[in-house]
Amino acid sequence: RESGSLDFASFRTLSLSPGLASAVFLMAFFGFGAKAGMMPLHSWLPRAHPAAPSHASALMSGVMVKIGIFGILKVAMDLLAQTGLPLWWGILVMAIGAISALLGVLYALAEQDIKRLLAWSTVENVGIILLAVGVAMVGLSLHDPLLTVVGLLGALFHLLNHALFKGLLFLGAGAIISRLHTHDMEKMGALAKRMPWTAAACLIGCLAISAIPPLNGFISEWYTWQSLFSLSRVEAVALQLAGPIAMVMLAVTGGLAVMCFVKMYGITFCGAPRSTHAEEAQEVPNTMIVAMLLLAALCVFIALSASWLAPKIMHIAHAFTNTPPVTVASGIALVPGTFHTRVTPSLLLLLLLAMPLLPGLYWLWCRSRRAAFRRTGDAWACGYGWDNAMAPSGNGVMQPLRVVFCALFRLRQQLDPTLRLNKGLAHVTARAQSTEPFWDERVIRPIVSATQRLAKEIQHLQSGDFRLYCLYVVAALVVLLIAIAV
């Protein structure tokens, strides 16, 4: 209505009032944010992924949810750029991103369903991308090209990287499910011996998504960190407070992400088999292996070629925001603009390859001093016979966090009928098999229930009479014509 056209070029020339521009931004942000799976509009994502085939889940997580990120960037940093970005837009996006990242990884940790765990991890990574987008929007508001380009570089780089390692992990989960016929990680175990190629590919995916150097997840999160560090140069007090808070939340998110994927890989591929299907599992066909290894190779290649790829992505950010170009790489080192820090992925790789030499030498020394006679048997079980139920489980790993964050996981206290001499009947925390976030229970479900009740109330309008339907169409047309005329 304001531009008189549906062409994007006409939108860019508009200079809307601050109130109207903010209304357009908020509607676009929450609309596209629901598409991206950001909190609190994420409820569909953990339900959709387990129901979809694994290759469809890889496509959904790697490509489809990123359309929401693109929509936010398109509206806020392109179509509304002529109006000018208020500072609070970027701070809002940063806040939503940090909350999505932290809560997403917490709920991922609590999951036993391997595909729901990966779906919650998608919420976390969307939050990390939005955090970097928020920094870029803050830079655009302050006319700081360095902050804008480095923030947007981190967002676009992580968008690409997430498509690769999350697609790899979903394909790996699909390979496991095709052999074990279950999503429950508690019924897996010891799959590294039976499915070695799948285990190797998933190991690379877990390392990449945990931002372990020198894989690609580390590179994009490193740029995101550098953009957050650069907020300390800004004079605005709100940003000087928001920057450290966002860094703390991102640091906690990173630590929990490592814990989450150590749990996923350890429970799934290590230890003893926990079901008959796990004992009888076999490697998947070569076509599935090739698909996983291709994505794993891309995770390594993009990390090692980051000094070549980062300037290419920087030019995209430069063209998108119309800001001056910034130096983001120098030779084989990554340099975020004029900041006094750099990292070299190829040298990190050499260092990591050299690190096993020390434990290898120690192992050789211990081998030379080993006793001549050795006997191998089952693990010591305090005098009892070994049972696979004694092995570490996902519930056991997560139980301390369930207690600490009980308000998020909605745990109930149950009575343990075992008599304790010193305490009588002891209270223990129930082990939840799945997580239902409080937001779903308190907000989403009441809205859904109210909508269903309203639909039942107006159900009588659907009478089956064609003449009445024609009357509805005419009445709606008259109302629209009156609205256009006014």
Let me know: does 20 contact 67? Beta carbons within 8 Å: no
Look up tokens 């830079």; give the residue: 139
Asked if pLDDT for residue 89 goes beyond 80, the answer is: yes
Average pLDDT over residues 101-114: 87
Cα–Cα distance measured from residue 247 to residue 225, given in angstroms and rounded to the nearest whole number: 7
Let me know: does 93 contact 154? Beta carbons within 8 Å: no
Asked if pLDDT for residue 271 goes beyond 60, the answer is: yes
Domain locations in the chain? 8-353, 395-429, 448-485
Q: What stretches of 35-141 adopt beta strand conformation (E)?
A: none
Model confidence pLDDT, tens digit, residues 21-39: 888 888 989 989 888 888 8
The angle at the Cα of 50, spanning 49 to 53, to the nearest 5 degrees, equals 80
Model confidence pLDDT, tens digit, residues 387-444: 666 666 667 777 777 777 766 766 555 544 544 444 444 444 444 444 556 667 777 7
**Banded pLDDT at 344 (limits 50, 70, 90):** low
List, as one string, the DSSP characters of 344-412: -HHHHHHHHHHTTHHHHHHHHHHHHT--S-----SPP-TTSPP-GGGS--HHHHHHHHHHHTHHHHT--
Cα–Cα distance measured from residue 178 to residue 6, given in angstroms and rounded to the nearest whole number: 47
Write the secondary structure of 409-433 as one string of H (helix), E (strand) and C (coil): HCCCEEEEEEEECCCEEEEEECCCC
DSSP state at residue 141: H
**Banded pLDDT at 142 (limits 50, 70, 90):** confident
Model pTM score = 0.81
Model confidence pLDDT, tens digit, residues 36-68: 888 888 888 888 888 888 888 888 888 888 888
Strands 413-420 and 424-429: antiparallel
The reported pLDDT for the residue numbered 412 is 53
3-class SS of residue 273: coil
Enter the tokens of residue 479: 């109302």
What's the Cα-to-Cα distance from 276 to each of 188, 297, 377, 403, 426, rounded to whole Å? 9, 32, 21, 32, 34
**Banded pLDDT at 294 (limits 50, 70, 90):** very high
Asked if pLDDT for residue 220 goes beyond 90, the answer is: no
Look up tokens 């390979």; give the residue: 175
Across the chain, mean pLDDT equals 79
**Residue 426: what are its φ and ψ, rounded to 5°?**
-90, 145
Model confidence pLDDT, tens digit, residues 202-217: 999 999 998 888 788 8
**Residue 367: what are its φ and ψ, rounded to 5°?**
-65, -35
Other beta carbons less than 10 A from residue 297's beta carbon = 14
Enter the tokens of residue 302: 């993009």
Enter the tokens of residue 356: 């096993």
Provide the residue count of the chain. Answer: 486
Query: Counting Cβ atoms within 10 Å, is residue 272 exposed (0-12), middle (13-18) or buried (19+)?
Result: middle
Let me know: does 253 contact 128? Beta carbons within 8 Å: yes
Strands 329-330 and 333-334: antiparallel
The reported pLDDT for the residue numbered 315 is 78
Half-sphere exposure in the Cβ direction for 293 (13 Å, CA): 11
CA end-to-end span of the chain, whole Å? 13
Asked if pLDDT for residue 133 goes beyond 70, the answer is: yes
The reported pLDDT for the residue numbered 141 is 85
Query: Is the previous residue joined to 214 through a cis bond, with omega within 30 degrees of 0?
Result: yes
* Cross-strand partners of 329: 334
